[in-house]
Amino acid sequence: MPIVSKDTLKTYFEDGKLPLESHYVDLIDSMSLGNAMNAYQTLLGLRGFWPMSSIDGSGNVVDQSSVGLTLTRTGNPYYWYDNEAPAIYLDGSGDYLIRAVGAPTSITGTEAYIYSPQRGLTFGGWFKPSVTTGLWRGLISKYQEWGTGHRSYLLALGEGGTFHCYISSNGTSTVSVTGSAAAVNTWQFVVGRYMPSTSLAIFVNRQLATQYSGIPTSLYASEADFIIGGYTGGSPGYVLPFHGSASLCFLCAAALSDDTIYSLYEMTWRFFINSGTT
């Protein structure tokens, strides 16, 4: 299945040209949510994929990878379609999805079964914040602020309205990178990527920011819970919740390439575009 950018698709119809049969195939594939979701299944080191479409009888989100990491619904979030994409709405006051401490969400970047140049961590999804300033709000985390020795990785929306990615090699000290500003009530594709000893990057749609200084050789295997829609703050059990919607969230025990991450964006942006995504 081809992954074709919107700019490439435009060239098929320029200057009155008659598109080839293969061009129509590209167009149909690129417009199918099912095909886009299938693309996630091909990601190297996929540990979890939560499109927010599959829900068990208790309202918990079912993992669409083969790992089986069902996330427990906490608070009173609801599931819905925003434009054409399945999503969960979190009200910012106690709504989030959580998985108790477990090996599948502990990723160090030293996994011997991954080809060494491609080892690392990639995690993210689509997020639509209802509020962008005032408080720190977790997007995806295995990270606890309180005490020492509880930090591993975190994707967050900062109090100043920008996206951030944090990692820790010892559970306490951190390395971070700051991405683009968030837009209220607008879907944005936010992804963090760690490449051992090399870089920490954050992607916001097609905007990339990278930190090259102080990058550790591995990540700490934190005992923190895995959370979508928050992270544990200054005291045990206190979660700093995200206020807004989330969709197509994923976790990989590998450092995906720029091209792969951009392709995921190109494959999925059209399902959010009528909700304000650019």
Q: Could you please report the per-residue DSSP string of 171-228? A: SSS-EEEEEEEP-TT--EEEEEEEETTTEEEEEETTEEEEE-TT--SS-----PPEEE
| Domains defined for the chain, CATH in brackets | 1-31 (no CATH), 45-275 (2.60.120.200)
183 exposure class (CB count in 10 Å sphere: 0-12, 13-18, 19+): middle
Amino acid at 190: V
pLDDT beneath 50, residues of the chain: 1-3, 275-278
C-alpha torsion 10→12→13→14, nearest 10: 80
Two tokens, residue 206: 């097609």
Interval 12-71: pLDDT, tens: 667 666 667 666 555 555 556 677 888 899 999 999 999 999 999 999 999 999 899 999
pTM over 0.75: yes
Q: Answer whether 43's CB lies under 8 Å from 54's CB.
A: no
- Nearby residues of 34 by Cβ (< 8 Å), 6 or more positions away: none
Q: Answer whether 181's CB lies under 8 Å from 167's CB.
A: no
Per-residue confidence (pLDDT) for residue 31, from 0 to 100: 55
140 exposure class (CB count in 10 Å sphere: 0-12, 13-18, 19+): buried
Helix-, strand-, coil-residue percentages of the chain, each rounded to 5: 20, 35, 45
Q: Answer whether 267's CB lies under 8 Å from 36's CB.
A: yes
- Separation of first and last alpha carbons in the chain: 24
Per-residue confidence (pLDDT) for residue 278, from 0 to 100: 41
Per-residue confidence (pLDDT) for residue 234, from 0 to 100: 67
